[in-house]
Structure 1
Amino acid sequence: MESRTIRFIRRGELVSLGNVPPERTLLEVLREDLSATGTKEGCGEGDCGACTVVLAEPDQGRLKYRAINACIRLAHSIDGMALWTVEDLAGPDGTLHPAQEAMVQAHGSQCGFCTPGFVMSLFGMYQNHVLRGEAVTRELAQEELSGNLCRCTGYRPILDAAQAMASLPRVEQDEQAILRKLEQLNAQRAPAGASGAASYLAPRSLPELLRLRAAHPKAQIVAGCTDVGLWVTKMHRQFEQVLDVTQVAELKRVEEYEHHVAIGAAVTLTAGFEALAAQRPQLATFFQRFAGLPVRNAGTLGGNVANGSPIGDSMPLLIALGAHVVLLSVRGHRELPLEQFYTGYRQTVLAADEVVGWIKVPRPVRPHPGPLPQAGEGGNGPVGMQATEFLRAYKISKRYDDDISAVCLAIRMRLADGIVEEIGIGAGGVAATPVRALQAEAALRGRPWTAEAAQRAAAALGSEFHPISDMRASAAYRAQVLANLVQRFWLETQGHANINLESFRLEEVALP
C-alpha cells in the first residue's frame, strides 16, 4: 500500500520522511533513519523511560508539551507535531539546557543509559511548570518522573535536579515561530482518505473517521499505541493498514453537561483523568498510579476501554461510576453501560464498522457541603447523611508506581440515613473481562451500612468471581484481597485514617 510522508518540526525546521511502514516506531525512525541515538531502547514496552521524547501541539494559542515513550509510539502518529529529543536541548554554542545542567550539578547520572530519558522528562517539566512560574515540589517531581526507571542513582539526585532547574538561567523555546510552522504544516496536510490505498489513515473529523472505518473494516485502529505498540515490539506484528483516531477533532474534547461528562475516545488519559478528578478529587492518587506519565500522556481513555484488558485500571472505576460507552458508525450510534460492552477476553460488542466515540460518566448526584476525605484520610468521622457519595478505587500491584494491577476494585456508595441508597462496584483482575459485582451490590443495596453488611459484601465477592493464578498473583491471593479491600472500604467510611500507602506524602527536602 501507499505510504504517507511523515512531516514534523524538529529544531525549528521541517523534517520530512517518506516510505515509512505503518508499524514502524518513532524510536526506530529516530535511531536508524535520523541517527538520533541519544534516545535509548531499554524495555521496548513503555516501562523504563529510556526512550522518552517530548511532543508538542498547538493548544489555545500556545504549545502543549507531552513527554511520551518513543519505543511504542508509531512514527506516523507524530505527523504535524513538534518533536524534541535529547540532542535538541543544548544551545548552538553547546550551553546545556537547565534540564541537562541540573543533572550535571546534582550528579544525577552514573551509567548514563537512562539519563536521556530523565532529561527529556525534566524538559517537559521545565516547559509545563518552571516556565509558567510554578514551583517544582518533591511530590510533583516524583509524579512526573514516574515513567523513568534508574538502576544506579537511587533517584534522590535526580529529584534534586528537578527542583534545581528553576535556579538556573532561563531558556525558552521560540513558541510563536514553531506555532506558525505547525499551522502551515497542518494546512498543507492532505485529507486522510485522499488515497484509498494509504497504509496509515489519520482522519481529522468524525465524518471522515466513520467513512474510513466503513471502507476499511480490517484496518487496525490505534490511538496512543500504549498497547498496540507492544504488539509491534514484542510480538513483531505488522499491519497492512492502520486507522489512527487521535487527530479527530470531535473526539479530542471533554464536554461538560448537567448530569454527565463526555470524554472523547481520542482524549489522552492525562486529560481524561484530570476531568474526572476535577469532579471527584479523591481519585487523583489512583490516577497517578496508572502507569507512568509518558504512558498517560500518549494513551487514551477510549483506547483503554476499547482494548478490554481484564487488568486495565480505568474500566473497574468507570463501571463503578455507572459510565456508558457510545459506539459510532455511518449507520448511527448506540449507547450501553460499559460492563455490557465486553463479551469475553479482549472481546467486545463492537461491530466491524464501529468505533468507540465517547465515554459518558455521571456527575456526583449533588454538591457536597465540604470536601470528601482523601484516600487514606478519615475526615471528621464516619460517613453518614453529610456525604452523598463515598468513593474509593484500590489498586494492588507488586510495585506501588508504574505497574500493572493484580487486583483493582472500585466502590461507589451513596447513603441516605445510613442506608445504602445506591451502590456501584467494579473489579479488574478477577475475571476474563472488567466486571460489575452484581451479587455484592445486591447484598448491600437498600440495607444499613454496617460491619456485618461489609462482611456480606466481601463474601458475595468471593463467591461471584473465580480469579486465576498467574505471574502477578495467585487465585487465593486475589480472592483474599477482594475481601480485604471491602473491609478497608468499611474502615475508611468510619473515619479510619492512614491505613494504606495512598495516605503517604513525600516530605519536601529543602535544597542547600
Structure 2
Amino acid sequence: MRDTIRFLKGGQTVELESVGPTETVLDYLRLRRRETGTKEGCGEGDCGACTVALGRLVDGKLVYQPVNSCIQLLGMIDGAELVTVEDLSQDNRLHPVQAAMVELHGSQCGFCTPGFVMTLFTLYHAEGAEKSRRTVTEWLAGNLCRCTGYRPIVDAAMEACFDAADDAFSWRASDTREKLKALADGSDVFIGDSSGFFSAPASLDGLAALYGQHPDATLVAGATDVGLWITKHLRDLPKMIWLGRIDGLDRVEDSPSGVLIGATATYQASEAAMTALAPDLGDLWRRIGSKQVRASGTVGGNIANGSPIGDTPPALIALGATLELSSVEGSRALPLEAYFIDYGKQDRRDGEFVTGLFVPRPSANQAFRCFKISKRFDQDISSVMAAFRLTLDEAGTVLEARIVYGGMAGTPKRASATESALTGASLEDPSTWGPAMQALLADFLPLTDMRASAEYRMETARALLAKALMEISGTAPGELRVLARREAGNDRAA
C-alpha cells in the first residue's frame, strides 16, 4: 500500500502525499505550482484551453496523449509523465510547435494558444500520422479558438508536426521510459482515511474488497463524466476509487467471434478493433468527444453511468453485446440491454462494478448500421442515436431485426414493435417496410428538451430507419456513404 502518487514532470519524479479525492490537474498546476500557462476555460472538457499532455508506456512505447486537465483528477496521473506548456522550451529556445505558431501567426488573443500548442505537441510525437489538413483538424477538434484563427494554426501544424520528433522529449525518451517503468510498482494507492480518500487499487481483488467496504464510493475511469459532476454539478464526492492502475482491465482483445473490451479501455485504444468489427462503429467512435476525451474516456464508463443519451450503448445493444460485472461475491454476465432498467437506474448491485464487455462480430448474413445525430458534428451529445442489425436470407428477407435508439426514452431502448413488424419484410420491396415505419410511433414517446423537440426526434428516428433500410438494400444514393464502404465489397453484409 502506497499513500502517495508519483509522476514525472520536467524529467524529475514528483511525489505528493496530499491529494484530494476531487482535486484536478488544472487546480494543482495553477494553485499549487503557480504554473498559469494552462488556462481554465469551460471547465467541462469542451474548449481545450486546459489541455496538457500525459506520457505513458503503451506496449513498451512512450506515447503522449492530450487530456483536459480541468476534469482530469490529480490522482489519475500516477505513473505518468505530465507535460505542460511551461515544459516545452529549452535553453530559451521555443519548441518547434511553438516556433511554428509564432512564425505563422497562430496566436491572436492568446488565451487558447497553450491548449492548441499542447495538442499539437502530442501530434508532433504521434507515430504514423498522415500529413494532411484533415488529420490536423481531427486532432484539433477539441480545441476552440474564439478569435476564429484556425487557418494559421493548421498551417503551423502542417509546418511542424509531421517530421521525425527532434526535441528534448525525444532526446531523453529512453531515460523517461526507464523512469516510468520504475514508477509502475504494482502497489495499491490509498490517500486519506475511511471518511474520505483517493484510492487506486492495483488488482481486481483489491478493487472488489475496497468497493465492498465502501459501496458509496465513486468509481472513476476516465473522468470525462465524473469530472463534470465535480466542476459543474458541484457534487460532494469524498471517496474516489480510480480504476486506471488495475492490470489487464484496459485490455482490448480481437477474435474471430468478436471484441472483448475491458472496463478501462479508452475509446482511442478500442477504435481500431471496433472499426474492424463494423465500419460504422469506427465512424461513431471518431465522433465521440475529441482527441482529449477519447484518450481518457472509456467505453466501460459510458455504459456504467447509464446515460440515456450515451453514444455507445445503442450500437452495442444492437450488436448483442454482453456485459460482465464483478464483486467480492463473484462475477456475472448479462445482456447489455438488461443492464438499463430505468432513467438513472441500472442493474448493478451494491459493491458491484463493470469489468468488461463482449461485442459479437456480425456474421456474413448480417448487416449493421448506426447513426449519430447532433447539432455539431464534433464534440456534441446525441440528439438521437440509432443502431440497426438485420439478419437476412439470400433473397433479402429480414429474418431478425435488432433496432435500438438512444435519446428517445429514459434508457437506450430496443424498438420491439418495429423489430416484429420488420421481420419478414423484403429489402427488395420497399412497400413491405411501411408497417415497421408505423410501428416506430408505438415504440417511443420522446421528450422535448434543449437538444431537440419530441417531434424532431420521432421524425429523425423514422428517417434513420428508412436510411438504414435503403443503404442495406443498396437503393440509397452513393453519396450517403463514404467511398471506403463501397470499396469494402458487398454492402449488404458490410
**Which secondary structure state, in structure 2, belongs to the residue aligned with residue 251 of structure 1?**
coil
Please tell me whether residue 461 in structure 1 is matched to residue 426 in structure 2.
no
1:75 shift after superposition: 0.7
Letter in 2 for 1:243: I
Residue identity opposite 2:35 in structure 1: A
Task: Kindly report which structure 2 residues correspond to 1:222-301, keeping only aligned pairs within 5 A, or say none.
Answer: 222-301=220-299
Q: Which moved more, 1:472-481 or 1:51-60?
A: 51-60
Larger mean CA deviation between 228-237 and 452-461 belongs to 452-461
Are 1:443 and 1:453, in contact at CA under 8 Å, matched by a contact in 2? no
Q: CA distance change for structure 1 residues 173 and 40 in 2, over 3 Å: closer, same or farther?
A: farther
How far is 1:5 from its partner? 2.5
Structure 1 residue 405 and structure 2 residue 377: aligned? no
For 1:209 and 1:322, locate their aligned partners in 2 and report how far apart those are by CA, in whole Å.
28
**Map of 2:5 onto structure 1:** 6
Matched, 1:140 2:135: yes
Q: Deviations over 1:286-335 (max 9, x none)?
A: 22111111111111100000011111101111011111111111211111
Q: Percent identity?
A: 44
**1:432 maps to which residue?**
410
CA contact (8 A) 2:254 2:273 kept: no
- Residue aligning to 1:351: 349
Q: State the one-letter code of the partner of 2:451.
A: R
* Paired residues for 1:115-130 under 5 Å: 115-129=113-127
Sort the Cα spacing of 1:273 and 1:462 in 2 relative to 1 into closer, same or farther, 3 A: farther
Q: CA deviation at 1:444?
A: 1.4
The TM-score normalised by the length of structure 2 is: 0.92
How many angstroms does 1:3 deviate by?
A: 10
Query: Aligned pair in 2 of structure 1 residues 75, 482: CA closer, same or farther (>3 Å)?
Result: same
Deviation at 1:168, TM superposition (A): 9.1
Q: Deviations over 1:48-74 (max 9, x none)?
A: 111111111112222122111100111
- SS of equivalent to 1:252: coil
5+ long unaligned stretches in structure 1 = 367-387, 505-512
Equivalent residue of 1:224, what SS?
A: coil
Give, as a single letter, the amino acid of the residue that structure 2 aligns with 1:424: R
Query: Which residue in 2 is equivalent to 1:68?
Result: 67
- Give, as a single letter, the amino acid of the residue that structure 2 aligns with 1:391: F
Residue aligning to 1:56:
55
Whole-angstrom CA distance in 2 between matches of 1:247 and 1:497 = 48
d(CA) in 2 for partners of 1:158 and 1:173? 26
Structure 2 residue aligned with 1:84:
83
Q: Which residue of 1 aligns with 2:399?
A: 421
The Cα shift of 1:205 comes to 1.4
The one-letter code sitting in structure 2 at the alignment partner of 1:302 is G
Aligned partner of 2:424 in structure 1 is: 446
Deviations 1:88-140 (A, max 9, x none): 1112x2222122122222222111111111111111111113xx5x4321221
Specify the SS of the correspondent of 2:125: helix
1:486 corresponds, among 446, 461, 465, to 465
The amino acid that maps onto 2:407 is: G
Q: Which amino acid aligns with 1:52?
A: T
Find the residue that maps to 1:73 and give its secondary structure: coil
Partner SS state of residue 331, structure 2: strand
Specify whether residues 500 and 148 from structure 1 end up closer, same or farther in structure 2 by C-alpha distance, changes over 3 A only.
Answer: farther
Letter in 1 for 2:392: L
> In structure 2, do the counterparts of structure 1 residues 346 and 487 end up closer, same or farther at CA, with 3 Å as the change threshold?
same
Distance 2:432 2:78 in 1: 55
**Equivalent position of 2:107 in the other structure:** 109
In the alignment, which residue of structure 2 is the partner of 1:496? 476
Greater mean alpha carbon deviation, residues 212-221 or residues 254-263: 254-263
Q: Contact (CA 8 Å) 2:362, 2:368: kept in 1 or not?
A: no
Following superposition, the deviation at residue 194 of structure 1 comes to 9.5
Q: Which residue of 2 aligns with 1:508?
A: none
Equivalent in the alignment of 2:178: 180
TM-score of the pair, normalised by structure 1: 0.89
Give the equivalent residue in structure 2 for 1:313: 311
Conserved? CA contact 2:3–2:191, under 8 Å? no
Residues in 2 aligned to 1:146 and 1:500: alpha-carbon distance in whole angstroms: 23
2:22 paired residue number: 23
In structure 1, how many angstroms separate the alpha carbons of the residues matched to 2:2 and 2:187?
A: 13
Q: Aligned residue for 1:375?
A: none
Summarize deviations over 1:243-296 as a string: whole Å, max 9, x none: 111221121101234422210001011112322112223332222111111111
Is 1:192 the counterpart of 2:192? The answer is no
Deviation of residue 157 (structure 1)? 1.8
Distance 1:191 1:406 in 2: 40
Q: Using the alignment, how far apart are the partners of 1:500 and 1:26 within structure 2?
A: 42
Q: Could you tell me whether the CA contact under 8 Å between 1:90 and 1:97 is conserved in 2?
A: yes
Task: State the one-letter code of the partner of 1:464.
Answer: D
Distance of 1:116 and 1:255 partners within structure 2: 36
CA contact (8 A) 2:190 2:198 kept: no
Q: 1:358 Cα shift?
A: 0.7
Partners of 1:148 and 1:3 in 2: CA distance: 36
Q: 1:144 Cα shift?
A: 1.2
Aligned in 2, Cα 1:215/1:422: closer, same or farther, shift over 3 Å? same
CA RMSD of aligned residues (A): 2.2
Unaligned runs of 5+ in 2: 485-494
* CA-to-aligned-CA distance 1:201-221 (integer Å, 9 cap, x gap): 111111211121212211111
- Letter of the 2:46 partner, please give it: D
